[in-house]
């Protein structure tokens, strides 16, 4: 039997599909493995190229196989899909992965360390708590509105509603309903404490990361965004430029060009949604602050807002911040405020 040089692995929870080829492209291995058979199987194989889709558990398996001496490459599922030759099944997917990983123009996903995955898990957990907080607040408002009790939007309005619940003096709220509202109030307080705890842990990690502290100097990039960037981009050199990082986040315009005519549309919104959202929110905070104190410190922002709406300016600023972050991570530099050149 010829020696296997490339293996495509279709990952799953319990049953994995393997597709291996030799130097001439001939199929050598095509079989299923149970979870407990994965490591013994790859221990017997000589060091080779192993391709996987960047999905759940892929970084874990990549680290395990790298430890056995194999070269592991992760790919976004959307880049593997064009190589599926027939109806979708595990066997066809493994074959497509095996072919895609050998393509010289394929874009790969860097394997994350356990620490980087832990920081991203902390961000996702915090994001879950924030969604739960929003759900609880909306539930409190909706239930009280059923009894004719409403308040204005924002924190002050919520505090008034919580006061009504705690005092229990409003006859419009029956005892049974008040018990339910008190339970929601208690749940809301617990979620708030959990969010604060996640914020403290993120800040602790931020203080211990030299790269994250440097990124914090970018206007609109605080500890939350800085830690997410550092954890999401293990090696900035996998991107050729800041534009490639911005495109990966989904902050560059879609292109629909042909015949030498360049047509640019809205931003692609492809890639890392969490980073994209955070960068845009950070840019909006910079613009709001600039409108409050004036634009003297950042004349380039003044020129941008004179030409574009606030929303478009925020997306452009988020794009700029992503490119700046890449340059700082790739070259180890510090942030310098851009200066508008006089014409």
pLDDT tens by residue, 178-237: 999 999 999 999 999 999 999 999 999 999 999 999 999 998 999 999 999 999 988 898
Strand partners, 27: 21
For residue 34, the model assigns a pLDDT of: 95
For residue 298, the model assigns a pLDDT of: 67
Residues 215 and 328: beta-carbon distance below 8 Å:
yes
What is the tens place of the pLDDT at every residue in 272-324?
A: 889 999 999 999 988 888 777 765 566 777 777 888 788 888 898 999 999 99
The candidate with the shortest Cα–Cα distance to 17, out of 43, 46, 41, is 41
Helix axes 175-207, 223-232, angle to 10 degrees: 70
For residue 51, the model assigns a pLDDT of: 96
* Mean per-residue pLDDT over the chain, rounded: 89
Average pLDDT over residues 32-56: 94
Average pLDDT over residues 232-258: 83
Strand partners, 19: 8, 30
User: In angstroms, how far is CA 286 from the centroid of its own chain?
Assistant: 21
Structure pTM? 0.84
- Position of tokens 């196989």? 65
Q: Quick check: 265 pLDDT over 60?
A: no
What is the tens place of the pLDDT at every residue in 106-165?
A: 989 889 999 999 999 999 999 999 999 999 999 999 999 999 999 998 889 999 999 999
User: In angstroms, how far is CA 321 from the centroid of its own chain?
Assistant: 16
Average pLDDT over residues 1-28: 91
What is the tens place of the pLDDT at every residue in 54-108?
A: 998 999 999 999 999 999 999 999 999 999 987 889 999 999 999 999 999 998 9
Count of CB atoms within 10 A of residue 70's CB?
18
What is the tens place of the pLDDT at every residue in 134-149?
A: 999 999 999 999 999 9
Q: Quick check: 339 pLDDT over 50?
A: yes
For residue 291, the model assigns a pLDDT of: 76
Secondary structure (H, E, C), the chain? CCCCCEEEEECCCCEEEEEEECCCCCEEEEEEEEHHHHHHHHHHCCCCEEEEECCCCHHHHHHHHHHCCCEEEEECHHHHHHHCCCCCCHHHHHHHHHHHCCCCCCCEECCCCHHHHHHHHHHHHHHHHHHHHHHHHHHHHHHHHCCCCCCCCCHHHHHHHHHHHHHCCCCCCCHHHHHHHHHHHHHHHHHHHHHHHHHHHHHHHHHCCHHHHHHCCCCCCCHHHHHHHHHHCCCHHHCCCHHHHHHHHCCCEEECCECCECCEEEECCCCCHHHHHHHHHHHHHHHHHHHHHCCCCCHHHHHHHHHCCHHHHHHHHHHHHHHHHHHHHHHCCCCCCCCCCCC
Strand partners, 17: 10, 32
Residues 49 and 30: beta-carbon distance below 8 Å:
no
- Position of tokens 């996702």? 124
Residues 16 and 51: beta-carbon distance below 8 Å:
no
For residue 270, the model assigns a pLDDT of: 73
Query: What is the C-alpha to C-alpha distance for residues 318 and 281, in angstroms, rounded to an integer?
Result: 8
Residues 10 and 90: beta-carbon distance below 8 Å:
yes
Query: What is the C-alpha to C-alpha distance for residues 196 and 210, in angstroms, rounded to an integer?
Result: 23
User: In angstroms, how far is CA 216 from the centroid of its own chain?
Assistant: 18
For residue 343, the model assigns a pLDDT of: 44
């Amino acid at each position: 039997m010829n020696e296997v040089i490339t293996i495509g692995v279709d990952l799953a929870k319990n049953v994995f599909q393997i597709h291996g080829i030799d130097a001439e492209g001939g199929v050598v291995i095509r079989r299923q493995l149970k979870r407990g058979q994965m490591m013994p199987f790859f221990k017997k194989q000589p060091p080779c190229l192993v391709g996987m889709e960047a999905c759940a558990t892929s970084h874990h398996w990549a680290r395990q196989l790298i430890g056995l001496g194999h070269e592991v490459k992760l790919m976004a599922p959307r880049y593997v899909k064009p190589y599926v030759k027939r109806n979708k099944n595990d066997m066809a997917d493994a074959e497509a992965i095996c072919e895609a990983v050998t393509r010289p123009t394929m874009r790969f996903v860097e394997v994350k360390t356990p620490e980087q995955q832990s920081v991203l898990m902390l961000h996702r957990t915090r994001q879950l708590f924030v969604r739960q907080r929003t759900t609880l607040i909306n539930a409190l408002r909706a239930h009280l509105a059923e009894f004719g009790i409403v308040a204005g939007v924002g924190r002050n309005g919520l505090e008034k509603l919580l006061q009504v619940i705690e005092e229990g003096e409003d006859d419009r709220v029956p005892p049974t309903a008040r018990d339910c509202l008190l339970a929601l109030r208690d749940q809301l307080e617990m979620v708030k404490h959990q969010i604060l705890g996640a914020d403290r842990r993120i800040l602790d990690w931020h203080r211990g990361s030299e790269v994250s502290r440097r990124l914090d100097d970018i206007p609109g990039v605080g500890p939350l965004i800085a830690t997410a960037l550092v954890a999401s981009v293990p090696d900035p050199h996998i991107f050729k430029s800041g534009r490639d990082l911005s495109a990966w986040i989904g902050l560059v315009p879609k292109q629909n060009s042909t015949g030498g005519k360049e047509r640019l549309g809205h931003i692609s919104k492809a890639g890392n949604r969490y980073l994209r959202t955070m960068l845009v929110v950070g840019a909006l905070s910079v613009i709001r602050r600039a409108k409050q104190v004036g634009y003297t410190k950042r004349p380039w922002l003044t020129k941008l807002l004179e030409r574009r709406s606030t929303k478009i300016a925020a997306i452009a600023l988020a794009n700029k911040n992503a490119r700046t972050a890449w340059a700082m991570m790739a070259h180890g530099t510090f942030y310098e405020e851009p200066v508008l050149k006089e014409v």
